[in-house]
Amino acid sequence: MIAYLRTVLYLVCMVVVFMCGIAALTITAAVVTNKLPDPQAWMAVVFFMAAGGAAWTAGHAARWDWSSWG
């Protein structure tokens, strides 16, 4: 049961990483093409990249076999 929950957590985290990447790339493209003139838009890109990085870390921590560590 725990292995199943770890797999589900890993998959959910990878979906979050994928969606954050799409959001960051979309906002970056809008800023570069000057369709989003808001100067705070870069903060949104940084936020989505940080959230994606945190989800990636959590997903890989769930995938790690902690029983053989230590």
Structure tokens at 28: 């970056």
Looking at residue 70, what is its pLDDT? 59
Q: What is the pLDDT of residues 15-70, one digit of tens each?
A: 999 999 999 999 999 999 999 888 899 999 999 999 999 999 999 998 887 677 65
Looking at residue 43, what is its pLDDT? 96
What is the pTM for the complete model shown?
A: 0.85
Please report, for the chain, the start and end positions of each structural domain, with discontinuous segments joined by +: 12-63
- Of 56, 31, 55, whose CA–CA distance to 43 is shortest? 31
